[in-house]
Amino acid sequence: MHSGLHALRAGHVFDGGEVRGPGLVLVQDGVIRDVDFTGAAPPQHATVEDFGPDGWLLPGLVDAHVHLCWDAGPDAVAHVTSQASGTVLETARAAATSALHAGVTTVRDLGDRDYLAVTLRETVPETERPEIVASGPPITTRGGHCHFLGGEAEGAEALRAAVRERAERGCDVVKVMASGGNMTPGSSPLHQQYGLADLRLIVEEAHRLRLTTAAHVHAAQAVEDVIRAGFDTVEHFTFFSADGVSLREELLDEVVRRGVFVSLTVGTLPGSPVPPAVAARESALWDLAAKVIASGARVVPGTDAGIVPAKPHSVYPHALAELARAGMSNVQVLRSATAEAAEAVGRGGDKGVLRPGAHADLLVLGSSPVDDIAAVMDVRAVYRAGHRVR
């Protein structure tokens, strides 16, 4: 496809784990062939792009939680439910481009309609979109959170069938609404939707079919059950109570002990209004995020991009600034956004690292994200599968 050898050079390299550099990354056929810090000259036959002594080479960023089919408009629910499939697919395509240009080269879509995120992956060339890890429609109860996406299933038989359907449709992950949510009338984030037995059955069936599992949880009891059921990632992790946020410390300890990934919902356009249930709990949620980060839990950023105007599909860099404000060092933020998030979405080794054999998805910044995390907005270039896309 593109057999030429490309050499990318910059004064600094973050390889997904450590800050290194100056360095040279050799790319061929969409894959990283070598990463060199010896100061050796690029091979003679390579085309060289030099981003200079101030340039930073990083793995492309990974967003653990997006909704490509949602247009981030004032009524994104109406858009995703009532527009024609072709229109929603166009929304998803624009969303994918927007994320890619922000440096996000892998997204995990945790709620589409009609498997449109899978369709997008199958119909748009990989160099024109991020890598898409897809769940299809979230599994939910009848009339439950986001039931309008088409994923209603109750009872052992129906739940097993729902998981199998997702495997057959080419999904990578099973998403379950374990508690209610904020965007569905009649659904309450304070209440569980499934009991422990159902959650266990979903995880067993998904893992048997080699799919990973993600659970949407706001209610504390739902958090307890999804951890016990063995979900790979816990989304939101907000511990909503009737009038605030009530962290149960022993559940946080359990998450740390088991190494469960916490996909924290971060990334809001500064100054943009957020949903009332979140706004009412804003300072408590930041306290919670700080505690989760301080606990040593494996925290990864999930923006929930698309659901409201405050969360456009380009919002990811703001999520990283928020993680830093909540107590992560800038290097921790970078690890969380690359190697850790790639592992959380089931793509560890291929994504989120600059090392031989990994996919050539890269981000180039013009200044140091270690000095100031806002440098993630100073994008000089984005590469996807070895192709420069920005």
Give the interface segment with Zn ion, choosing from 76-84, 158-166, 302-310, 362-370 (CB under 5 A). 302-310
- Pick the closer one to Zn ion by CB: 344 or 353: 344
- Pick the closer one to Zn ion by CB: 205 or 304: 304
Minimum CB distance to Zn ion, residue 35 (Å): 34
168 vs 21, 131, 260, CA distance in Å? 44, 19, 26
Give the interface segment with Zn ion, choosing from 199-207, 299-307, 312-320, 368-376 (CB under 5 A). 299-307
- Pick the closer one to Zn ion by CB: 251 or 307: 307
Q: CA 318, CA 274: separation in Å to the nearest integer?
A: 14
Instruction: Please give the structure tokens belonging to residue 173.
Output: 């992950």
- Pick the closer one to Zn ion by CB: 69 or 353: 69
Minimum CB distance to Zn ion, residue 12 (Å): 34
- Bridge partners of 384, per DSSP, are 387
- Pick the closer one to Zn ion by CB: 63 or 304: 304
- Pick the closer one to Zn ion by CB: 118 or 353: 118
- Pick the closer one to Zn ion by CB: 35 or 222: 222
Instruction: Please give the structure tokens belonging to residue 120.
Output: 């997008």
CB 291 within 8 A of CB 237: no
CB 215 within 8 A of CB 234: yes
165 HSE (CA, 13 A, CB side): 17
* Other Cβ atoms within 10 Å of 5 Cβ, number: 18
Give the interface segment with Zn ion, choosing from 43-51, 74-82, 159-167, 301-309 (CB under 5 A). 301-309
Minimum CB distance to Zn ion, residue 149 (Å): 10
Q: CA 177, CA 192: separation in Å to the nearest integer?
A: 9
Minimum CB distance to Zn ion, residue 235 (Å): 7
Minimum CB distance to Zn ion, residue 62 (Å): 16
**317 preceded by a cis bond (ω within 30 of 0):** no
- Pick the closer one to Zn ion by CB: 175 or 281: 175
Minimum CB distance to Zn ion, residue 368 (Å): 32
Binding mask 73-112 for Zn ion (x = CB under 5 A): ----------------------------------------
Q: CA 185, CA 164: separation in Å to the nearest integer?
A: 29
Minimum CB distance to Zn ion, residue 111 (Å): 5
- Pick the closer one to Zn ion by CB: 225 or 304: 304
Instruction: Please give the structure tokens belonging to residue 116.
Output: 């449109």
Q: Among 304, 322, 340, 343, which residue interacts with Zn ion (rule: CB under 5 A)?
A: 304
- Bridge partners of 264, per DSSP, are 301
Please give the sequence-ordered ranges of beta strands (E in DSSP) within the chain, or none if there are none.
6-10, 12-14, 19-20, 23-28, 31-36, 47-50, 56-59, 61-66, 104-109, 131-134, 173-177, 212-219, 233-241, 244-245, 261-265, 298-302, 362-365, 379-384, 387-388
For 250, residues 6+ apart whose C-beta sits below 8 A from its C-beta are: none
CB 34 within 8 A of CB 6: no
- DSSP string computed for 126-173: GGGS-EEEE--SPBB-TT-TTGGGS-B--SHHHHHHHHHHHHHTT-SE
Confirm or reject binding of residue 232 to Zn ion (CB under 5 A). no
Size of the site for Zn ion (CB under 5 A): 1
- Pick the closer one to Zn ion by CB: 14 or 194: 194
Residue nearest to Zn ion (CB): 304
- Give the binding site for Zn ion (CB under 5 A): 304
